[in-house]
Chain A
Amino acid sequence: MVNVLEINGLTVDVPGRRVVDGLSLAVPAGRVVALVGPSGCGKSLTARSVVRLHDPGAGVRLGGTILLNGTDVLALARRELRGIRGRGVGYAFQDAAASLNPTVTIGRHLVETVAAHDAGDPRTLGAAALKRCGLPTEDVWDVRPYELSGGQAQRAALAVATVLEPDLLIADEVTTALDPVTQAEVLDAVRAQAAEQGRAVLLITHDLAVAGRWADEIAVLSGGRVVEHGPSTAVLDAPRAEFTRTLVAAARLADRNDPDRNDSVSPVPGDPLLSLRGARRVLKGRGRTTVALNGVDLDVRPGEAVAVVGRSGSGKSTLVGTLAALDRPVAGRVFADGRDVWGLRERERRALRRRGGLVFQDALASFDPRYTVAQVVAEALRSRESVDALLERVGLDPAMGERRPATLSGGERQRVAIARALAAGPAVLLADEPTTGLDVLAQERILALLAGLRRDEGLAIVFVTHDLRVARRIADRVVVLAEGAVVEDVPVTGLDFAIHPETRALLATTPLLAAANELDVANGGQRAPHGS
């Protein structure tokens, strides 16, 4: 088999630090090679080095050789490099909607790429590329990127990246923000590029289960080097490198029921802390109206962990906003401690909000950019004295208080957000996708922190996620949302026997890491009693 891409001894230096240190990797034609590693390990830097797509202001320096069909990319002049970008290498980014120009239609994106390389009839080539990515040309050609759903936008971006039939496709975290059903659609399209078109595909991901399901080979990146590289099944079933074992173990934990959870406090039967009755919320946008919540009934009892699961756009975040007494439903009622939230006076409602903790997916955006970590937490406390204690409670060094949240890692930011949410001593923590976008190690630490808070303090948690693995790990009860309605509300142990098509679709598309024998053990050991 021919190696389309051969990286030898690649080094990438950013000012002050060497991120990639002697990385070597080969991607043969017709294969999907996944480059896996935690955040900040240099995955994206490596991928961008292949087309030298670094931020010119960042002072990135490259060393080693990157051979693309035998040509050393690092030795090319700018003009020759432009010839390779788009034509020899297609690049798909994590945030597809942001990587496409919102003022330009999908069709023009394709035409521009073809015209830049003077490669033939744009319309024919563009239509063929869209078809390969599973998008009907007539539906998307004249449409602007923001009019597409997340999955469609990502597939359109893939079509733009592959319109000139490049030998190599780089898919950089293309599904990180997508729900499992959409993720499966996109990655199936990526896989088809390799299987049907014979392209070499470099799939960058932090999700081992994704790599295991869609990649032929896995290369594990740690400390700037590839510590292990082999066929997917071999790497996942019998990891040789110490670091791979850690990653696999962390990912497995997320797949299985958490052993800690069995000895955690069981929900106190009692009056619900929060309830929704027939909640209906309509979002009015430009020219269109979306029913985000359509008659939702939900109860959250003390000490209970409820996972709210659903695809993008199913109303999960709206549900959290409604539970937090921030968004007022157009119909239906919201009760907190048995009181009708929207029947209260503004002052009392504010007091209610103060007693609930809210954590957002994008922690950084939820902090005032002018504030330090300590100020963020202190604002919720309304005093400064116990900021240090709170930071310690979520596993952060109190010395971090003086830093700006932007200088922290994703996991650390999310801990700051949790510290802020805990400041007022809430009975319920509302967490909106707090681990989406975090790598498996950081995610594991956040989940362990939440499990510990539940166990030690009897905190009730409403945890929104599109990842069923996370839901299984954290929750007693799973609520599945589809098109603004609750279609499933079952104990987590009953999830495998759910029958609603939406739930089945989520279950079927969620990639699991456990090898066949492990799954049997898990099923036989823990789930059989409920099954029989």
Chain B
Amino acid sequence: MSATDRSVVKGPDAERPAVARAAVEHPTAERPARPGFLAVRLRVRRPGVWAAGVVLATLVLAAVFAPLLTSYDPIATDTTATGVAPGSPGHPLGTDLLGRDLLARLLYGARTSLLVGLAAAVITVVGGLLLGGLAAAGPRWLDELISRIADVLLSLPMLIVVLALAAVMGPSLTTVILAVAATSWMPVALVARAELISQRERLYVRAAHALGLSRGEVLRRHLLPGAVPPIASIAAFEVAHAILTESTLSFLGLGVPPNRPSWGNLLTEAQAHLLTGEWYTVAFPAACVVVTILAVNVLASAVDRREGRAW
């Protein structure tokens, strides 16, 4: 890729699976700057952003191609090799006390955790934008309704709401995703609403109306791009939040069923071994969670703060 077209993100996305691309960068996802469409560009000059992209892509690829990277079944126990330390032949990251290969469990666990994190973040951001947009553009009662519901949900401890949902719907992947989305759309909606309202009064929005643009066109071309930078940073937070919530719910036994490996489940099972010498059963899944969250945050920071400001 030449140096000149680096300001428009294309490169690394191309070889990344479509699901991940849409999820990780939505709504900061960039299309080449067509006049009139989302005219926001990511400025990817910092090497850290590239590194974060590569890390995330690697994790996603590893999750997708897990069967090719390990020959072990993540839930098959092997009583001849229990509690093997990392670095042992055949088990590069060791095994747990039931003799399950930790690398295989991490790889298959990534499928669950990343799916939950990204899917919940997408639902959160899209839903939040939609509700925030409705509140900003719709009639006053709708604005009041959405804002007050958001306030009420924000004032309830998140875990209680999630626990209630999980208790009603039963532990499953869908439950986790919906529970996370239901408890985290509020910041997105409130920020989107505030940004849209503050921009609506700007002169360039009036100028756009004077050009005969419809409300939808004005929203798409002038209002939404301005709201992207603050929402991008919230979106990154939401991915991290979703992965962590999955871990928490699984830890409490209300998330992903225990027979299905996820980073959260791995941590749950390992809690007993934290002080007994099998530190690696905790350290590796925890490291995966931390690295993913860091990478997503760095990527979100690539949306130029100054975009959307008159400078």
Contact = CB atoms under 8 A, between A and B. Distances in A.
Interface of A: 324, 326, 346, 350-356, 358, 360, 362, 364-371, 374-375, 378-380, 384, 406, 420, 424
A326 B211 CA distance: 10
Nearest to A346: B214
A375 B35 contact: yes
Interface string B195-214: 00000001110111111111
A214 to B, nearest CB: 32
Interface of chain B, main secondary structure: loop
Given A326-B209, A353-B211, A375-B39, A360 B225 contact: no
B213 A350 contact: yes
B310 interface: yes
Contacts of A375: 35, 39
Interface in B199-254: 202-204, 206-214, 221-222, 225-226
Contacts of B213: 350, 379
6 contacts: A353-B209, A353-B210, A360-B206, A370-B39, A379-B211, A406-B310
Given A324-B210, A326-B210, A350-B212, A365 B35 contact: no
A379 B35 CA distance: 7
B143 interface: no
Nearest to B309: A369
Contact of A366 (B203, B309, B311): B203
A384 B204 CA distance: 20
B175 to A, nearest CB: 40
A355 B212 CA distance: 8
B40 interface: yes
Q: Most chain-B CB neighbours within 10 Å: which of A324, A346, A355, A366?
A: A366
B204 A379 contact: no
B307 interface: yes
Given A353-B211, A358-B210, A364 B39 contact: no
A366 B222 CA distance: 11
B203 A360 contact: yes
B224 to A, nearest CB: 11
Interface string B272-311: 0000000000000000000000000000000000011111
A491 to B, nearest CB: 29
Given A354-B211, A379-B221, A380-B211, A406 B203 contact: no
A366 B206 contact: yes
Interface of B: 35-36, 39-40, 202-204, 206-214, 221-222, 225-226, 307-311
Contacts of B203: 360, 362, 365-366
Contacts of A364: 310
Q: Which 4 A-B pairs have the closest CB atoms?
A: A354-B212, A369-B310, A365-B203, A353-B212
Contacts of A424: 211-212
Contacts of B210: 324, 326, 353, 356, 358
A47 B212 CA distance: 44
Contacts of A350: 212-214
B35 A384 contact: yes
Contacts of B211: 353-354, 379-380, 420, 424
B40 A370 contact: yes
Contacts of B35: 374-375, 378-379, 384
Given A353-B212, A379-B36, A380-B211, A370 B307 contact: yes
A368 B204 contact: yes
Contacts of A371: 39
Contact of B208 (A365, A370, A379): A379
Most chain-B Cβ atoms within 10 A of its Cβ — which of A324, A368, A379, A420? A368
A378 B221 CA distance: 13
A187 B268 CA distance: 77
Nearest to B212: A354
Nearest to A404: B311
Contacts of B309: 369
A367 B206 CA distance: 10
A111 B308 CA distance: 39
Given A353-B210, A379-B211, 12 more contacts: A326-B206, A350-B213, A353-B209, A360-B203, A365-B204, A365-B310, A366-B203, A368-B221, A369-B204, A378-B35, A379-B213, A384-B35
A457 to B, nearest CB: 19
A368 to B, nearest CB: 5
B311 A406 contact: yes
Contact of A369 (B212, B214, B308): B308
A354 B208 CA distance: 10
Given A364-B310, A379-B36, A358 B212 contact: no
B212 A351 contact: yes
Given A350-B214, A354-B212, A379-B221, A369 B207 contact: no
B4 to A, nearest CB: 13
Most buried by B among A362, A367, A379: A379
A61 B225 CA distance: 38
B221 A365 contact: no
Nearest to B215: A346
Contacts of B40: 370
Contacts of A352: 212
Contacts of A358: 207, 210
Contacts of A378: 35-36
